[in-house]
Amino acid sequence: MNFDFTEEQLMIQQAARDYAQRELIQDVLEREEKAEFPARHVKNLAELGFLGMMVSPEYDGAGMDSVSYVLALQEIAKVDASVAVIMSVNNSLVCYGLQRFANEEQKQKYLKPLARGEVIGAFLLSEPEAGSDATHQHAVAEDKGDYYLLNGTKNWITNASSASVYIVMAQTHPDKKSRGINAFIVDKNTPGITLGPHENKMGMRSSDTHSVMFSDVKVPKENRIGEDGFGFKFAMMVLEAGRIGIASQALGIATGAFERALAYSQERKAFGTEIFNHQSVAFKLSDMAVKIENARNLCLKAAWLKDNHQSITVAGAMAKQYAADIAMEVTTEAVQIHGGYGYVKEYHVERLMREAKLTQIYEGTSEIQKIIISRSLIKE
């Protein structure tokens, strides 16, 4: 097995690290406090090619591989997980889905500006009563001949107000259950779309999250993705790729907290020596390092499988579940190592701990990942 990165992968990692350490760090605390969308950074990431990383140059993407994507996202999330989720949703849930499943006309019209990062997208699957239980879509898309009439509410939508393009899942044939669901590309400025208030979140506060209401929204027939009834499978396959993104984000959050705790442990003195010299602290750091290394291997393996056109269903679920769970553990220990300082904002680790929590919830909770993994054990 080859664990070396290519020169190009290392360059991409370095570019992401430089941007995060030079730019994102400057205003991350202020933006998080004000829950302010990082518009300037999104524009800069677009210029770096980080919003359409894996889209082929034919559709104005950067043509990078998924391993590079994991490395770059980890660097961004180490400093600012809100920016990382904006990047992840646009790359994995929106661009990936369109590149793989949209038709040529849809790609020309929607994928190209998304891949250039001129506009960003959002993925609308969750509903007030359909989060984990995603087949039970209440949003309906009635077939009216040359258009669909869309009605319903979507919840917890990342990029809801900043996105121009929505990928929306809705039920067209309720009797067919998951096989009756369709996925649509919807322009956000279509009449009949309204947004709920900005969600006042515990963490990831500068990514914008809203509910989105659709009232008699006309969606042209040509905006349906794939065959009639393909929408649920589309959503599941797109989410598989999305989970590699969120796993990398969780890995970045854990690494950011670990690096801060390691540095602090070598500066802070207690009982006459740097606290790293106390085994109670050193062993915590050792456990954190092992968990991060395992999560990193799972993320890279899933990305490698994707780059080699192999199934990522289980590998993506394992990476997402493990990385999210250890991000919560590692960030909690990082706060503990910082003691009282860990509980105040200036030291960043309390923010990283709040950010870690969401990685166990969105794009499939840790429990959903365990459903996917355990089902595969029997199938195998």
Q: Per CB under 6 A, which region of 96-104, 138-146, 335-343, 357-365 contacts ligand CAA? A: 357-365
User: Strands 140-143, 193-195: parallel, antiparallel or unpaired by DSSP?
Assistant: unpaired
Taking the least distance from each CB to ligand CAA, the nearer of 60 and 363 is 363
In angstroms, the CA 176 to CA 169 distance is: 15
Minimum Å gap between C-beta 299 and ligand CAA is: 17
Residues in the chain: 380
E strands, 224-358, where?
Answer: 269-270, 273-274
E strands, 229-327, where?
Answer: 269-270, 273-274
In angstroms, the CA 322 to CA 320 distance is: 6
Minimum Å gap between C-beta 317 and ligand CAA is: 9
Would you please indicate which residues are annotated as catalytic (active-site) residues? 363
Taking the least distance from each CB to ligand CAA, the nearer of 173 and 268 is 173
Backbone φ/ψ region at 206: left (φ over 0), alpha (ψ -120 to 50), beta: alpha
Taking the least distance from each CB to ligand CAA, the nearer of 255 and 369 is 369
Show contacts with ligand CAA in window 296-335 (CB under 6 A): 313
Distances from the Cα of 277 to the Cα of 36, 53, 262, 271, 283, angstroms: 40, 43, 12, 10, 10
Taking the least distance from each CB to ligand CAA, the nearer of 38 and 342 is 38
User: Strands 273-274, 269-270: parallel, antiparallel or unpaired by DSSP?
Assistant: antiparallel
* Residue 366 in contact with ligand CAA, rule: CB under 6 A: no
Minimum Å gap between C-beta 162 and ligand CAA is: 12
Distances from the Cα of 93 to the Cα of 130, 164, 258, 274, 330, angstroms: 18, 14, 28, 45, 27
Of the residues 232, 258, 322, 347, which one makes contact with ligand CAA according to CB under 6 A:
232
Minimum Å gap between C-beta 212 and ligand CAA is: 11
* Residue 166 in contact with ligand CAA, rule: CB under 6 A: no
Question: 40-43 — which CB contacts under 8 Å span 24+ positions?
Answer: 41/80, 41/83, 42/83, 42/86, 42/117, 42/120, 42/162, 43/117
What radius of gyration, in Å, describes the C-alpha atoms of the chain? 21
Minimum Å gap between C-beta 122 and ligand CAA is: 7
Of the residues 208, 240, 350, 355, which one makes contact with ligand CAA according to CB under 6 A:
240
In angstroms, the CA 66 to CA 241 distance is: 9
Binding mask 119-138 for ligand CAA (x = CB under 6 A): ----x-xx-----x-xx---
Taking the least distance from each CB to ligand CAA, the nearer of 212 and 288 is 212
Of the residues 138, 198, 233, 278, which one makes contact with ligand CAA according to CB under 6 A:
233
* Residue 376 in contact with ligand CAA, rule: CB under 6 A: no
Show contacts with ligand CAA in window 83-112 (CB under 6 A): 89
Element (DSSP H or E) covering residue 153: strand 147-158
Residue 187, beta-bridge partner list = 165
Q: Per CB under 6 A, which region of 41-49, 56-64, 163-171, 366-374 contacts ligand CAA? A: 366-374
- By the criterion CB under 6 A, which residues form the site for ligand CAA? 89, 123, 125-126, 132, 134-135, 157-158, 178-179, 232-233, 236-237, 239-240, 313, 362-364, 368, 371-372
